Chains A and B, each alone.
Chain A
Amino acid sequence: MTSRVLRHLLLAVLALAVLAPLASAHPERGTVFPDPATNQIPKYRNSGPTHVVCKPDSLARIKRIFASDASGRRSRQRMLRRCRFRHIQAAVNAASSGYRILIMPGVYREEPSRRVPFGTYKSGPCPNDWVETEGFENTAPPPAGPRSNDPPVRPDRNFHLKCPNSHNLIAVIGDTRPEPDPKNPLPVKCLRLCNLQISGYGKRPEDVLIEGDRRKMDVLRVDRAHGIYLSNFAVEQAAFNDVDLVEVDGFRVTRLVARYAQNYGVLSFTSIHGLYDHIEAYGNGDSGVYPGSGAKGCDYINRNAYGLCDRGWTAANPRAGCGNHTTEIRNVNSHHNILGYSGTAGNSTYVHDSRFHHNNTGLATDSFASGHPGMPQECFRWEKNEINSNNENYFTQERQTYCNNTPFERRQREIVCPQFQVPAGTGVLIGGGNRNLLRDNHIYDNWKWGVVLGWVAAVNRGERDPDRQNDNSHGNQFLDNKMGMRPDGTADPNGYDFAWDGQGMRNCWQGNTSKSGPGHQYQGSDPAPPSCPGSEVSRPTDPALYSTVVPCFAWDPRNNPRPVGCDWFDVPPEPKPS
């Protein structure tokens, strides 16, 4: 063997070693909903035991930031004298439930956490604390096809308990009990670090920057730490989530900037009593905000089993069984992401007074995927939002070539690389939801679809019960939206205001006004969508519409960047006002 061949082999081995951590699977472990969930959205506290975190240059930053605000400057300088920590994780570790952690202006890279090796399955820290889960029971006969050498494993709760900084730059772990059977997690409890308040003490969120190393999956992971209050800082460059809230009963995330994550800006999962407020999210490779696997708002179902919020519905009120919202999202400005908002099993969200613009797709909620408790998706209420100009396209050949050739660790932080395929030019996408209400929003200048509704076969989320295959895309209402016009009334058309595959019962459209013009108001089997209360007859999905979307599954940036039959990755021409 020549030395040249040996050198190439060595380089190949080194490259594999570098890339190995990238081959990890979706990092969310198996979860359950907090039940009973008795907490509330936490309120701001300005007293109580406090740890202060600062950097050597915090004083200089304070003087600069508060140069014209003597009162603000003095209060920070007083607080700075109490600083005992250089790293946020150290302050968290020293805290107890009910503590406040005040972060003085500065850039927080959390060097001690960065030095903790990144564990992988059977290698590195906590090599055996991984759980194999697909999120559904496979009772079918063995299928054909290759068996993967990379089993579908995720770090389990023991991993985060024993090796908190292997995958997380900052970990707030509330449940200290070991997990005896990670496939069947213990009921959720918060035993320490409950009601923690972590706040930046600058003027703007960007004055306190928590910077990920582009290797740790989460920059800030909050795991079973109920009542957490996060405010007034910027967080960026996670290999998965900038902020990740898992199995949390009660959280408030406010005045936050979440940007440049490989996947999600702020993500909550199997959590309840949550509030996203005044968040700016941009530059994320999946979505800016992700309230996924949200608790359902109806209290008559077992949230940890299959259940629908369908009790007491009537034709006039198909949402009667929805109950209260469980996550509120307000004053969010989410832009220049692949998706402004997404939520698989994003149940009972109340999204209002927010902006989703200049993404590839504005908002998506769905029942598409396996491994997400709370299926099928139900009962959102989205009102008074501005959903516009979602015509960015990060699927160009040039972008995909760059993304393919540049591992996340080495990419320029501002360049967004798509992690999933979406239809560029779309305002709202609902894939398999029930009893959702989209009302009184301004939806304009989305060149493909303003709003698209479609069915998802339950088998495609791993649900095999024949009686549940058509359990979604029912009772969705689209009321009083202003389509194809800006808030000042200027026409700014959508490609189509609405599109529907025709499947499902009691879906209805009423009171919507449009300036998109003739030929741009509806794409579907019929000339117009049904008005309320909609049809009691469940029609099948229309192949003339679903044939437009199914081929797009084939997208793979490395092997199939431009799938045959898929037109999602070229934004349609701008529709002109008639």
Chain B
Amino acid sequence: MRPGLAAALLAAAALSACGGGGGSDGGGGAGAGESRTGELVWEREPLVFRVRRIPTDRVLVGRVRNDSLRPLDIRSADVGVRDGGGRRLRSFAQFTESYVHGIYPAYQKPDPLPADEQERLGLIVRILPGDSAPLVVSYRTTPRDRGRLRVEWKRGSLPVPTRLREQAS
């Protein structure tokens, strides 16, 4: 077995086995089985973590698969979280599964970043048909949030699981 494949399988096992109850957000529901719109699907139910030191904040960790027959080019800036009423929450999305570091210092960087750098940083992604990509979305909840949260992009949306997990302690 190739190391990359082995790691992917182990990562899948970890994602499905990762425990730790921590309450719930939103209006209930079964999770990833709920309907999606557009070409993207959750490869498996993503995990949502409550940020330990910022109780309003959540971090969703998952993988999205392109279920269509054509490549999808997505900008992370076009990915966000909305509540059931359509209000956009403050959020940030990135196609990555580990911490990423830019090459340009904060006050000495081109704007916009070169496309290669954006791709390396998970700010843009191309997902071929049948392929998947890691996705991390952080967002801030407020008491005004209504109904089920959804991760939204330009061409569709995906449900956010309601179950919350705790970060490592």
Contact = CB atoms under 8 A, between A and B. Distances in A.
Contacts of B96: 457, 460, 550, 553
Given A144-B74, A467-B4, A539-B10, A263 B92 contact: no
Range, interface on chain A: 35 or more
Interface stretch (B44-52, B144-152, B155-163): B44-52
Contacts of B20: 544
B118 interface: yes
A22 B104 CA distance: 12
Range, interface on chain B: 35 or more
Contacts of A419: 105-108
A541 B97 contact: yes
Contacts of B75: 144-145
Interface string A540-551: 111111111111
Contacts of B143: none
B152 to A, nearest CB: 16
Interface stretch (A30-38, A148-156, A175-183): A148-156
Contacts of A23: 108-111
Interface stretch (A60-68, A245-253, A366-374): A366-374
A145 B105 contact: no
Interface string A520-542: 00011100000000000011111
B2 A564 contact: no
A262 interface: yes
A408 interface: yes
Contacts of A146: 112, 115
A432 B99 CA distance: 10
Given A141-B126, A460-B99, A546-B98, 19 more contacts: A143-B119, A143-B124, A143-B125, A150-B110, A262-B108, A420-B101, A456-B99, A460-B96, A462-B116, A469-B3, A470-B4, A499-B168, A544-B167, A547-B59, A550-B99, A551-B57, A551-B92, A551-B136, A564-B90
Interface of B: 2-4, 6-7, 10-11, 13-15, 18, 20, 47, 49, 51-54, 57-59, 61, 71, 73-75, 90-92, 94, 96-126, 136, 138-140, 165-169
Interface of A: 22-26, 134-136, 138, 140-152, 240, 262-263, 285-286, 344, 366, 368-371, 403, 408, 417-420, 431-432, 454-457, 459-462, 466-467, 469-470, 499, 523-525, 538-554, 556-558, 560, 563-567, 570, 572
11 contacts: A26-B104, A263-B105, A371-B103, A403-B107, A456-B99, A467-B2, A538-B6, A548-B168, A550-B59, A551-B92, A567-B51
